[in-house]
Structure 1
Amino acid sequence: MITKFIENYAKLIVGVPEDVTVTKELIDDNFAEITISVNSVDIGKLIGKNGNMINALKTMANGCKAKDGVSYKIQVVVK
């Protein structure tokens, strides 16, 4: 659920939405890492000024913690 939301949200922000991929890796029962891969020209758009865009995604992920009990770490990497 959270990975699909983040993927759709990221595709709306970036200039090259075809290059956006989102993966989720479960570290243990209570922790998961979400990796967003984007084109190098879009990394700044996804992070946003003063980190506002990526912080919005992190806030959304923290909201999902209340539902499923899993903490999420979000990383943005260049494809």
Structure 2
Amino acid sequence: MTALIESIVTSLVDHPEDIVVTETEEESKIVYHLSVNPDDVGKVIGKNGRIAKAIRTVVYAAKTNSNKRVYLDIM
């Protein structure tokens, strides 16, 4: 899943070397924390959050068959 997030975000940012995706697993959920260069945050979030919503939609649709919910946190 981290490779999917990185491949989507790499095409959006100017500094792809600063992309960091970490995974935190809890009892009932899996949280992916996406961190990018401060100059690229606006490009990843998009106008009115449209790009962030689209990325989240793809990630949620590609989740594994586990019963845990998947979240994407953009920092």
**TM-score range normalised by the length of the shorter chain:** 0.7 to 0.9
Residue aligning to 1:25: 24
Q: Which runs of 5+ in 1 are unaligned?
A: none
Which string of whole-angstrom CA distances, capped at 9 and with x for unpartnered residues, describes residues 15-40 of structure 1? 10000011111012x31110011000
TM-score, with structure 1 as normaliser: 0.83
Q: Which runs of 5+ in 2 are unaligned?
A: none
For these two proteins, the number of residue pairs brought into alignment is: 75
How many Å separate the matches in 2 of 1:42 and 1:48? 10
Residue aligning to 1:44: 42
Q: C-alpha root-mean-square deviation of aligned residues, in Å?
A: 1.5
Structure holding more helix per residue: 1
Percentage of matched positions with identical amino acids: 31
Structure holding more strand per residue: 1
SS at match of 2:51: helix
1:1-79 to 2 correspondences below 5 Å: 2-28=1-27, 30-65=28-63, 67-77=65-75
Q: After the TM superposition, which parts of structure 1 deviate over 3 Å for at least 4 consecutive aligned residues?
A: 65-69
